[in-house]
Amino acid sequence: MSSSASEIVADTTHGRHHLKIDGYSITKATLPTGEFLKSQPFSVGGRRWAIQYYPNGDPSSHKGHISLHLVLDDAVAGEVRAQVQFRFKAEKKHALSFLQSWGRKPAPLKLGRVEAGEDGVWECPNFVKRKTLEESDHLKDDSFTIRCDIIVVNEFRADGGPPPAPAPRSVPVPPSDLGQQLGDLLAADKGADVVFEVGGETFAAHRWLLAARSPVLSAELFGSMREGGAAGAVRVADMEAQVFKALLRFMYTDSWPLETAEEEEFAMAQHLLVAADKYRMERLKLICEDKLCKNIAAGTAASILALAEVHHCHELKGACFHFLSSPKNLTAAMAGDDFENLRSSFPSIVKELIAKCSIDAPAQ
């Protein structure tokens, strides 16, 4: 993905002018509202400027104030953009303290924009109340000094901007090998603290891992067994040794435990589904269901359907129904011994299948 950057730059010139009013009381007594005294011209940004000082305010609505105007004092053609601020010459923190003490905010920025030939005036009609000035420290020996800050905008331009930041470097991270490491731990019997006896064989394992993988084993290993103080092997009577070995392998590695021939995998999937249901290992149970779904055929559908019904495998049961809903498949399945076992154990399922296919079941 490509990226780029640019920026809008305001090319400006900054300037400052100090205007001292010496003889404030005389200017106040002499000039009426709306009349002003004008400073000497000064230059900022290639323009000539002047300040108009109104000791009795301008317009009449501000006659209780001192008003200030910044005027463009030249006749140069072209547009002028400027930003202006009036304040007392005193340091900023002193000026702010004074203004806040009288309940006023600092004098705001006055923005102006004029065209050539128009009135180039930036007005500040309420710079300060006369009474406020007269009671302040800014008026000394009947004089005070005004500071005027001007920013003249010469032009706006578009620049290419700073170069884009380099893309962050990345470090290749290998896939997790936690399953492999835990599988090695199981194979080495290192730190094992529980032994299972299954089909004449013994298997060492780790309580904490089995408890984390199976809520049934968690209750058995850290519940009733611990309370009874049993220290011998845990006997598993209803499972073959190779099935329990595969079950342990899945608990440690979270992956299908065998690389076997298709027939052996089909048989192991059935046994592991029963074990997964017993120990409430839902992920393993779903893996077994998926493998059995891929092995549904005329000769296996009945036995798989019975297994699905006993162990509440709804998706697997639905897959069997879908396969057997075909009259051809159902007829072929009914010819096997497994279907007779299904008929005797789950007659309601057989009736439902026959009804869907609209064929009569053979006489018993």
DSSP letter at 337 equals H
Looking at the fold, whether 11 and 93 belong to one and the same domain comes out as yes
162 preceded by cis ω (within 30°)? no
Lowest mean pLDDT among 96-100, 143-147, 337-341: 96-100
**34 with 143: CB under 8 angstroms?**
no
Assign residue 239 the CATH number of its domain.
3.30.710.10
Q: How confident is the model at residue 98 (pLDDT cuts 50, 70, 90)?
A: very low
Domain residue limits at 64: 7-158
Measured distance CA(107)–CA(96) in Å, rounded: 9
Identity of the amino acid at 56: N
Establish if 1 belongs to a structural domain. Answer: no
Which is more confidently placed, 2 or 48?
A: 48
Model pLDDT for residues 164-216, shown as the tens digit of each residue: 677 788 898 999 999 999 999 999 988 999 999 999 999 999 999 999 999 99
Looking at the fold, whether 193 and 153 belong to one and the same domain comes out as no
Model pLDDT for residues 222-235, shown as the tens digit of each residue: 875 554 444 578 99
The answer to whether residue 266 scores a pLDDT higher than 70 is yes
Assign residue 322 the CATH number of its domain.
1.25.40.420
Q: How confident is the model at residue 357 (pLDDT cuts 50, 70, 90)?
A: low
Looking at the fold, whether 129 and 29 belong to one and the same domain comes out as yes
Q: What is the pTM of this model?
A: 0.52
CA angle 180, 183, 189 (to 5 degrees): 145
Report percent pLDDT > 90 for the chain. 52
Span 260-277, average pLDDT: 89
Looking at the fold, whether 148 and 186 belong to one and the same domain comes out as no
Residue 353: per-residue pLDDT = 75
Looking at the fold, whether 250 and 319 belong to one and the same domain comes out as no
Non-local (6+) Cβ contacts of 31 within 8 A are 37, 54, 55, 56
Looking at the fold, whether 135 and 69 belong to one and the same domain comes out as yes
Lowest mean pLDDT among 178-187, 216-225, 258-267: 258-267
Looking at the fold, whether 130 and 75 belong to one and the same domain comes out as yes
Looking at the fold, whether 36 and 142 belong to one and the same domain comes out as yes
Domain total in the chain: 3
Mean pLDDT of the chain: 83
Span 111-136, average pLDDT: 72
